[in-house]
Amino acid sequence: MSSQTNQKVDIHDEVNYDPTVWVPKAHSHGTSDIWKKFWILSFLTVADVVAYFIWPPSISRNIFFILMGIIKAWFIVGTFMHMKHEHKKLGYMIILPMAFVIFFLYWMMYEGNFWGTF
Amino acid sequence: MSTQTISKASTWGGGNSPFNVSYGKLMMWVFLLSDAFTFSSLLIGYGALRYSYPSTELAQIESLELGFAQNVQEQFAAPGVDAHHGEHFIPALRDLGIFNEFQWPSPDLVFNHFPFAHGLHLPLIFVSLMTLILILSSVTMVLGVEAGQRGDQKAVSKWMLLTIIGGFMFLGCQAWEWTNFINAGARMWANPYGPPAFAALFFGVTGFHGFHVFSGVVLNIIVYINNLKGTYANRGHYEMVEKVGLYWHFVDLVWVFVFTFFYLI
């Protein structure tokens, strides 16, 4: 087996962790980025509320709110959930299905306009 | 070190981690993806039902001439009635035709309460505070994860404790919000502000999210106690903090979308 030739590549359960063999382990990236993202997220939340009061209800406003939600999700998943430091394929595995779901979300909001009008 | 070159055939041939994460973390990601589908289905149902009703007309709301932090209990009280007892706001707006069965209510007229500011019109302020509490508890969680990656047991304890407090604060806020909504007469099947579907979806989705927050707080407490006992220090790594952290951030992430859909759209 080819995998047995890679002796250092070995997956261990966290309970049976042996520090002499390699396990995929995250390391610290410092705290400055975390606080920066906190201020961005707070600012975006306040911007949402301000937009709610100065922008009359419309489809474009709804698209704006959903886009703001996606931007906030990007920072939460990327920095707080460590996704931007993970393997790229893991990111695609999580984000691509959700892209279809967000499309479906917008689709059903549009579709709801035509319910009860017949 | 981990920087070995592995041929493409052996990447998926077993015996290694194609995504370069541990089994536990990968499975947490898979669980969170499936949980995201569950919440998406609830929000998709909300979006479709919400737009099956026409919105409250802007002209109707503007005709109220409601000012920020204005005392709505006094303004809408019947003459000779003590403004501090009973709900005058909802019956008055029902009489004006702004709250009715056929139009989706404007969220800033429904969620305009704030603790210790009885009767004042403070739209969306309380829910913004709840959002900031949850974002802040997400920050303390990720600082706990960062401390765990450095192997700093005391710092992990400190940040986990702050995260637990943040979780309880959020749950308390949600209990207060529910109490107000229920006292106003909202039930799963009835809603004085408008269509019953509004209340049913509110209780369903925020209840589902609130129970996730509660579960997260329980998990955080377990991790906090384990860390005090030195379980992770003995194990040599703090990966359990990272995995519970992923769940806690997910709860924050869901709230971002619940906030967007229930209070803004």
Q: What is the mean pLDDT of residues B21-44?
A: 92
- Specify whether B35 is located in the same domain as B74: no
Q: Is residue B4 part of a domain?
A: no
Q: pLDDT band for position B80 (50/70/90)? A: low
Return the pLDDT at B204: 95
Q: Is residue B13 part of a domain?
A: no
Whether A23 sits inside 8 A of B22 (CB atoms) is: yes
- Specify whether B197 is located in the same domain as B247: yes
Tell me the chain B residues in contact with residue A76 when contact means C-beta distances shorter than 8 Å: 138, 249, 252-253, 256
**What is the extent of the structural domain holding B82?**
58-110
Q: Is residue B5 part of a domain?
A: no
Whether B33 sits inside 8 A of A98 (CB atoms) is: yes
- Specify whether B148 is located in the same domain as B91: no
- At A79-108, the pLDDT tens digits run 999 999 888 999 999 999 998 998 898 899
Q: Is residue B65 part of a domain?
A: yes
B220 in Cβ contact with B145 (< 8 Å): no
ipTM of predicted assembly, 2 dp: 0.87
Return the pLDDT at B18: 76
Return the pLDDT at A1: 38
- Specify whether B63 is located in the same domain as B48: no
Q: Is residue A90 part of a domain?
A: yes
Return the pLDDT at B219: 97
> Which of A41-50, B20-29, B131-140, B155-164 is predicted least confidently?
B20-29
Whether A15 sits inside 8 A of B249 (CB atoms) is: no
- Specify whether B156 is located in the same domain as B100: no
Q: Is residue A1 part of a domain?
A: no
**What is the extent of the structural domain holding A78?**
33-118
- Specify whether B41 is located in the same domain as B157: yes
- Specify whether B183 is located in the same domain as B211: yes
**Residue A63: closest C-alpha in chain B:** B265
Tell me the chain B residues in contact with residue A80 when contact means C-beta distances shorter than 8 Å: 138-139, 141-142, 245, 249, 252
Q: What is the mean pLDDT of residues B94-122?
A: 87
Q: Is residue A13 part of a domain?
A: no
Per-residue pLDDT of chain A (118 residues; tens, 9 = 90+): 344 444 443 445 555 555 444 456 778 888 999 999 999 999 999 999 999 989 988 889 988 999 999 999 999 999 999 999 888 999 999 999 998 998 898 899 889 989 875 5
- Specify whether B34 is located in the same domain as B164: yes
Q: Is residue A48 part of a domain?
A: yes
Min CA distance, B81 vs chain A (Å)? 32
Give which of B12, B30, B43, B44 to mutate to test A binding, by max A Cβ within 10 Å. B44
CB contact B253 to A (< 8 Å): yes
Please count the residue pairs, one from chain A and one from chain B, whose beta carbons lie less than 8 angstroms apart. Answer: 193
Number of domains in chain B: 2
Interface of A with B in 67-106 (CB under 8 A): 68-69, 72-73, 76-77, 79-82, 86-87, 89-90, 93-94, 97-98, 101, 104-106
Look over chain B and give the mean of its residue pLDDT values, rounded to a whole number: 88
Interface of B with A in 187-246 (CB under 8 A): 235-237, 239-240, 242, 245-246
Q: What is the mean pLDDT of residues B188-203?
A: 93
- Specify whether B176 is located in the same domain as B236: yes
Domain endpoint, select from B77, B110, B143:
B110
- Specify whether B30 is located in the same domain as B132: yes
Return the pLDDT at A5: 41
> Which of A51-60, B19-28, B51-60, B76-85 is predicted least confidently?
B76-85
- Specify whether B71 is located in the same domain as B40: no
> Which of A87-91, B50-54, B91-95 is predicted least confidently?
B91-95
Return the pLDDT at A3: 41
Greater confidence (B36 vs A87) lies with B36
- At B176-195, the pLDDT tens digits run 999 999 988 899 999 999 99
Q: Is residue A15 part of a domain?
A: no
Distance between alpha carbon B17 and the CA centroid of its chain, in Å? 34
Q: What is the mean pLDDT of residues B117-135?
A: 90
> Which of B67-81, B135-149, B208-222, B224-238 is predicted least confidently?
B67-81
Whether A73 sits inside 8 A of B256 (CB atoms) is: yes
- Specify whether B84 is located in the same domain as B199: no
Distance CA A40, CA B201 (A): 30
Number of domains in chain A: 1
Q: Is residue B35 part of a domain?
A: yes
